[in-house]
Amino acid sequence: MTTSVSIKDLSLNFGNVKVLESLDLEVAQGEFIVLLGPSGCGKSTLLNCIAGLLDVSDGQIFISGKNVTWDEPKDRGIGMVFQSYALYPQMTVEKNLSFGLRVARMPKAEVDARVKRASEILQIEPLLQRKPVELSGGQRQRVAIGRALVRDVDVFLFDEPLSNLDAKLRNDLRIEIKRLHARLKNTMIYVTHDQIEAMTLADRIAIMKNGVIQQLADPHTIYNKPVNLFVAGFIGSPSMNFIKGDLSGTTLSVDGQANIPLTNYQFANQTNGASILGIRPEHIVVGDEARKMPVQMESEIEIVEPMGADTVAWTKIAGQSLTFRAAAEVHLEPGQKVLIGFDPGRGSVFNAASGNRI
Amino acid sequence: MTQIAEPGERAAPGFAGTAAERKPRTRRKFNIQSVLGTTPMIATAIGVFVICIIFSIIWSFTSSKLFPNFNFIGLQQYERLWRTDRWIISVQNVFVFGALSMVGGMIFGYLLAVFMDQRIRQEDLFRSIFLYPFAMSLVVTGLVWQWMFDPNLGIQSAVRQLGWTNFEFAPLVKQETALYGLVLGGLWNGVGVTMAIMLAGLRGVDSEIWKAAKVDGIPTWKTYLFIVLPMMKGAIATAFILSATGVVRVFDIVIAMTQGGPGVSTQMPAIYVIQHITDRANVAQGMAAATMMLVPVMLIIGLQYLFQWNAKRKAARI
Amino acid sequence: MTAEAISSRLASGVVDSSGPRGPKPKTVTVGRIGVYAFLILSALFFLMPLWVMVVTSLKTMPEIREGHLFNWPALLTFDPWLKAWDTACTGRDCNGLKPGFWNSVKITALSVPVSIVIAMINGYALSFWKYKGSELLFGILIFGAFVPYQVVIYPLIIGMRELSLFGTLPGIVIVHTIFGMPILTLLYRNFFASLPIELFKAGRVDGAGFWGIFFRIMLPMSVPITIVAIILQVTGIWNDFLFGTVFAGRENMPMTVQLNNIVTTTTGIREYNVNMAATILTAAVPLVVYFISGKWFVRGIAAGAVKG
């Protein structure tokens, strides 16, 4: 596996504010990496540094083995797609696609060939003579992708490319980007705050907070084995239930009211003391199935939110609020007493003080 | 595969250590084309708005007459300035003129804007009529109103011919009223702009405010005065700054309308400066007057900085 | 709600069906009349001087001396217009406003493009290519927008004289460029700052540099704001009086200065009709610009007035 993009010890300060701090990231050739995080976490900043649109304060950036830390964006072998599309409004689609090539004084035949190929791939040939204002949002974003495509580069950078589109179009284009990646096999670095996009597209997700990568792993690991409370709470909707308690050995005692046995949980480094058990709403079962679970308890339903495909219900255990997801067919109503159960082995246990997984 | 970075672990000491090992990297912060492209701006900002002002101030401390010299005589020019009736009257005049035309302009401008906001027919026509005087030069404005105010052939005589033989409306011939004539001419020229800015401000107010006021049963005029007006701080500040800078510079209209007369009743600081550097050949005196004109501008800018600083501090606290 | 209440509601509903229904009839209220009365009176106030100017310029001097300021001329004459344009005297010269008009044309035609091109580059550099000190320069420039001209005018005269530019056409063009720069730079900076920064980034990724992005991406986009700037500058420079008096010299005296000289010439009898014709002629160019540009003019004022 060859490395495509390599970031070493990267820091960026705006005045006294540290936006990125000693950040390291290795992206393999052909890999689809998603940078995910809340706004202000530095994900877009990192992308801009890779693109060469921001000057780094310290550290190095390698693309395809070449140190590009100080290179101009055009010399880095990257193409970039922006959230607001950033199409040049006075140019036709064709001119938009070919602008970079014309700036580089590429022979006309070559320019035409590349524009033709890109517009075929993205199925925007009928639009070539139109101006951006005459295009729909989805068409504009295709053109924006096409502009990266014609550059014939190794690395594609996407800066929240789907955020300005409505929900339906976003789903369609998401699939299309995935298809594009499967076809071209380029390295793609994709910034988003949408966890669905991250989970569906990524080979690996880097979750960022305050300029630091919290966890870099494949979607499955991120979802099932979050390394800390932040990652656990950020991924998943409705978000993970956190049950505060006191850990001693393999028993979590919740306010002295309930004891949850964590016998099938695989501790990485068991530490006694204040701890938090995280359990996803979809891992809690109700009714007869709950009887098969290692942990079972009786609880009263407070609120029911029917979602169509399934139902989310709110309840409390030992005074702490808990949500769980049930199949749409299960009849639930507020005030009803039900038996719920889960397997702590599928959950995550965090040290309350450090917030890290134990 | 999994990489965990702890924000807490990478604390200050480690950072300082790496910074010391590596040489500082400054590059591309400075685009040479950008500096070259803005050479005229650099020359203007430094050459005109810094160096020229410094020279004006320096010469105000000298005995320069027809030509500038560097024979420093301390504050003598300022002492003389503030002993000169002509200057003192100029300062009084600019304050009276400024207060009247700014307050008058704001009130008239806001009223016009409010009336324009009543979903009237022919809004564009009215707007054109209120605004066209601003397209004309202040010299033109001054000459027209000088003619309108002519005691023998202007408005006064026209009304007298209609039968009101005691009607008096010729402000420019009397020392006590000449300034009001100037104010009227100035308002005619500039109120349309205030109206346009205020109208834009009114239209910028969230329409739900209007709905809320309507549901609450607040009378329209009260809504305009107590709810909408305080929400238009931006438009008011814009109109205020625009008319304030106009007032400090007031020159053309006075020259065209009264030449500072009758007597010295419409003298203005700007005229005082120009007269001293041209006809009166007393450069240092003119520069002392010019430096004094800079004082209110500096005060306003200083106050604005104070407000901004204060606002920033407040914002930081929240 | 009880059953009785519901049934009584239903019953009354049947009875009430003769009440108000459909669109509310339109009525002319006292308030509406007041609104229009105020606006029309104000409009008369604004139009009155224009009317007086026009009718006075078309009257003969004997008719003017009879008074009746507002009346349409009994005897229509266009001689005052011809005289104002061709033969009216300023001191010893009797060439009318004609030379002043052509001087103003020259000054405006040169100053407008020069000042706008410079301001456009300034605004572009200040928005996308900031360098150390560029914000400070901009601050000084904005400060310059509020400084009374009198504070800088004399050292500027001396400087221009040193460069042999005082009293020349290039000299007055430079002066207009200098004093137009703060507002125009602000105008363009605000415009460029309002564009999505991603457009600039896309240009960088496509390999265009400072001038490449300026000419090929930004310039074609700034047509609307440039129309505003042109209107602002044409009217501003045409209407200028102070700089024309001080810097242009006798050779390049603009129309406003010449107008003032014609009107305030004390020799001989005052010909009010000629004066008014001259005044209208001087106001004609900016008025035409104003009426053609319409809403753009308002935008120009608002844009120029809005602080950054």
Nearest-CA neighbor of A344 among A231, A258, A273?
A258
Q: Are A106 and A116 in contact (CB under 8 A)?
A: no
Cis bond leading into A238, ω under 30°? yes
Region A38-59: what's the mean pLDDT? 90
| B255 near C CB under 8 A | yes
Q: Which residues in chain C are contacts of A159 at CB distance < 8 A?
A: 198
Long-range contacts of B4-11 (CB under 8 A, 24+ apart): B4/A214, B4/A215, B4/A227, B4/A228, B4/A356, B5/A22, B5/A23, B5/A24, B5/A212, B5/A213, B5/A214, B6/A212, B7/A21, B7/A209, B7/A210, B7/A212, B10/A21, B10/A22, B10/A212
Cα within 13 Å of Cα(B110), Cβ side: 18
Q: Which chains touch A (3 or more CB pairs under 8 A)?
A: B, C
Encode B75-85: b = buried (16+ Cβ within 10 Å), e = exposed.
Answer: eebbeebeeee
Residue A55 pLDDT class (50, 70, 90 cuts): confident
pLDDT of residue B286: 92
Write out pLDDT tens, residues A230-281: 999 999 888 999 998 888 888 888 877 788 888 888 888 888 888 999 999 9
CA distance A235 to A220: 11
Reduced to 3 states (helix: H, G, I; strand: E, B; else coil), residue A293 is coil
Query: Is residue A56 predicted with pLDDT exceeding 80?
Result: yes
Cα separations (Å) of A312 from A22, A234, A239, B62, B190?
Answer: 41, 18, 11, 85, 64
Q: Which residues in chain A are contacts of B2 at CB distance < 8 A?
A: 215-217, 221, 227
Name which of A12-16, B108-112, C255-259 the model is least confident about: A12-16
Residues in chain B: 318
The alpha carbon of residue B4 is apart from the nearest alpha carbon of chain C, in Å, by: 31
Reduced to 3 states (helix: H, G, I; strand: E, B; else coil), residue A220 is helix
Q: Which among C198, C204, C217 has the least Cβ separation from residue A83?
A: C198
Q: Which residues in chain C are contacts of B38 at CB distance < 8 A?
A: 121-122, 125-126, 134, 137
What stretches of chain A adopt beta strand conformation (E)? Answer: 3-14, 17-28, 32-36, 58-63, 66-67, 78-81, 155-159, 187-192, 204-209, 212-217, 241-248, 251-254, 258-261, 273-279, 284-286, 295-306, 310-317, 320-327, 337-342, 348-351
Nearest CA in chain B to C234: B135
Residue C33: its H or E element: helix C30-57
pLDDT of residue A220: 93
Nearest-CA neighbor of C141 among C159, C125, C160?
C125
Query: Is residue A96 predicted with pLDDT exceeding 50?
Result: yes
The C-alpha R_g of chain B, in whole angstroms, comes to 28
pLDDT of residue B3: 39
Nearest CA in chain B to C150: B290
Q: Which residues in chain C are contacts of B277 at CB distance < 8 A?
A: 153-154, 157
Cα separations (Å) of A114 from A59, A173, C205?
Answer: 35, 22, 17
The alpha carbon of residue B288 is apart from the nearest alpha carbon of chain C, in Å, by: 9
pLDDT of residue C173: 95
Please tell me which residue, B10 or A222, carries the higher pLDDT value: A222
Query: Is residue C7 predicted with pLDDT exceeding 70?
Result: no
pLDDT of residue B4: 39
pLDDT of residue A114: 93
Query: Chain C interface residues facing chain A, Cβ-Cβ under 8 Å?
Result: 196, 198-199, 201-208, 212, 216-217, 220-221
Write out pLDDT tens, residues C119-160: 999 999 999 998 888 999 999 998 888 888 889 999 999 999
β-pairing, A78-81 with A155-159? parallel
CA distance A52 to A70: 8
Q: Are A262 and A300 in contact (CB under 8 A)?
A: no
Q: Are A155 and A162 in contact (CB under 8 A)?
A: no
Write out pLDDT tens, residues C65-105: 888 888 888 888 888 888 888 888 877 778 888 899 999 99
Reduced to 3 states (helix: H, G, I; strand: E, B; else coil), residue C87 is coil
pLDDT of residue A314: 92
CA distance B274 to B148: 27
Domains, chain A, in order of start with CATH, read: 3-232 (3.40.50.300), 240-351 (2.40.50.140)
The C-alpha R_g of chain C, in whole angstroms, comes to 29
Nearest-CA neighbor of A52 among B3, B5, C184, B27?
B27
Nearest CA in chain A to B11: A21
CA distance C167 to C251: 8
What is the DSSP annotation of chain B? ------TTTS-HHHHHHHHHHSPP---SSS-HHHHHHTHHHHIIIIIIIIIIHHHHHHHTTB--SSS----B-TTHHHHHHHH-HHHHHHHHHHHHHHHHHHHHHHHHHHHHHHHHTTT-TTHHHHHHHHHHHHHS-HHHHHHHHHHHT-TTTSHHHHHHHTT-TT----GGGSTTTHHHHHHHHHHHHHHHHHHHHHHHHHHHS-HHHHHHHHHTT--HHHIIIIIIHHHTHHHHHHHHHHHHHHHHT--HHHHHHTTT-STTTT--HHHHHHHHHTTT--HHHHHHHHHHHHHHHHHHHHHHHHHHHHHHHHHHH-
Write out pLDDT tens, residues A332-357: 888 888 889 888 888 899 988 888 99
Query: Is residue C1 predicted with pLDDT exceeding 70?
Result: no
Q: How does DSSP classify residue A126?
A: G
Q: Which residues in chain C are contacts of A147 at CB distance < 8 A?
A: 202, 206
Nearest CA in chain C to B201: C302
Cα separations (Å) of B93 from A50, A196, B83, B183, B197?
Answer: 63, 70, 16, 11, 27
Reduced to 3 states (helix: H, G, I; strand: E, B; else coil), residue C178 is helix
Count of CB atoms within 10 A of residue B185's CB? 29
The residue whose two tokens read 């797609």 is A81
Q: Taking each helix axis from N to C terminus, what angle separates B123-135 and B85-116, rounded to the nearest 10 degrees?
A: 160
The residue whose two tokens read 């010890």 is A9
The alpha carbon of residue C227 is apart from the nearest alpha carbon of chain A, in Å, by: 17
pLDDT of residue B317: 65
The alpha carbon of residue A12 is apart from the nearest alpha carbon of chain C, in Å, by: 18
Query: Is residue A50 predicted with pLDDT exceeding 80?
Result: yes
Q: Which residues in chain A are contacts of B1 at CB distance < 8 A?
A: 204, 216-218, 221
Write out pLDDT tens, residues A171-188: 989 999 999 999 989 999
The alpha carbon of residue B21 is apart from the nearest alpha carbon of chain C, in Å, by: 26
Query: With left for phi above 0 and alpha for psi between -120 and 50, is residue C257 left, alpha or beta?
Result: alpha
Q: Which among C276, C279, C289 has the least Cβ separation from residue B135?
A: C289
CA distance C114 to C13: 75
Please tell me which residue, B173 or C222, carries the higher pLDDT value: C222
Q: Which residues in chain B are contacts of A23 at CB distance < 8 A?
A: 5
Cis bond leading into A226, ω under 30°? no
The alpha carbon of residue A147 is apart from the nearest alpha carbon of chain B, in Å, by: 26
The residue whose two tokens read 């100037």 is B182
CA distance A188 to A5: 10
To the nearest whole number, what is the mean pLDDT of chain C? 85
Residue B137 tokens, joined: 């030069």
pLDDT of residue B10: 34
Task: Kindly report the pTM of this predicted structure.
Answer: 0.84
Per-domain residue ranges of chain B:
76-267
Domains, chain C, in order of start with CATH, read: 29-77 (no CATH), 98-305 (1.10.3720.10)
Q: Which among C201, C207, C212 has the least Cβ separation from residue A86?
A: C201
pLDDT of residue B25: 42
Q: Which among B53, B132, B256 has the least Cβ separation from residue C260?
A: B256
Q: How does DSSP classify residue C215?
A: I
Cβ contacts of residue B6 below 8 Å, gap of 6+? A212
pLDDT of residue B5: 38
Q: Are A355 and A229 in contact (CB under 8 A)?
A: yes
Query: Is residue C181 predicted with pLDDT exceeding 90?
Result: yes
To the nearest whole number, what is the mean pLDDT of chain A? 89
| B44 near C CB under 8 A | yes
User: Please, what is the Cα angle at B43 between B40 and B48, to 5 degrees?
Assistant: 120
Q: Which among C199, C205, C207 has the least Cβ separation from residue A88?
A: C199
Q: Which residues in chain A are contacts of B14 at CB distance < 8 A?
A: 22
Q: What are phi and psi of B80, to 5 degrees?
A: -65, -40
Please classify residue A240 by burial: count the beta carbons closer than 10 Å to its beta carbon, then call 0-12 exposed, 13-18 middle and 19+ buried: buried
Residue A358 tokens, joined: 């134990």
Q: Which residues in chain A are contacts of C201 at CB distance < 8 A?
A: 48, 51, 53, 73, 80, 82, 86
Write out pLDDT tens, residues B244-302: 878 877 888 998 888 887 888 899 999 999 999 888 888 999 999 999 999 988 888 88
Nearest CA in chain C to A89: C221
Q: Which among C198, C205, C220 has the least Cβ separation from residue A78?
A: C205
Q: How does DSSP classify residue C75?
A: S
What pLDDT tens digit does each residue of chain B (318 aa) get?
A: 333 333 333 333 333 333 333 333 444 556 888 889 999 999 999 999 999 999 999 999 998 888 888 888 888 889 999 999 999 999 999 999 999 999 999 999 999 999 998 888 888 899 989 989 988 889 899 999 998 998 888 888 888 888 888 888 888 888 888 999 999 999 999 899 899 889 888 888 888 888 888 888 888 888 888 888 888 888 888 888 888 878 877 888 998 888 887 888 899 999 999 999 888 888 999 999 999 999 988 888 888 888 888 888 777 765
Residue C176 pLDDT class (50, 70, 90 cuts): very high
pLDDT of residue C302: 63
Q: Are A349 and A278 in contact (CB under 8 A)?
A: yes
ipTM: 0.83
For domain B76-267, the question of CATH label 1.10.760.10 is answered with no
Q: Which residues in chain A are contacts of B10 at CB distance < 8 A?
A: 21-22, 212
Q: Which among C198, C208, C220 has the least Cβ separation from residue A90?
A: C220
Write out pLDDT tens, residues A136-172: 888 999 999 999 999 888 899 999 999 888 888 889 8
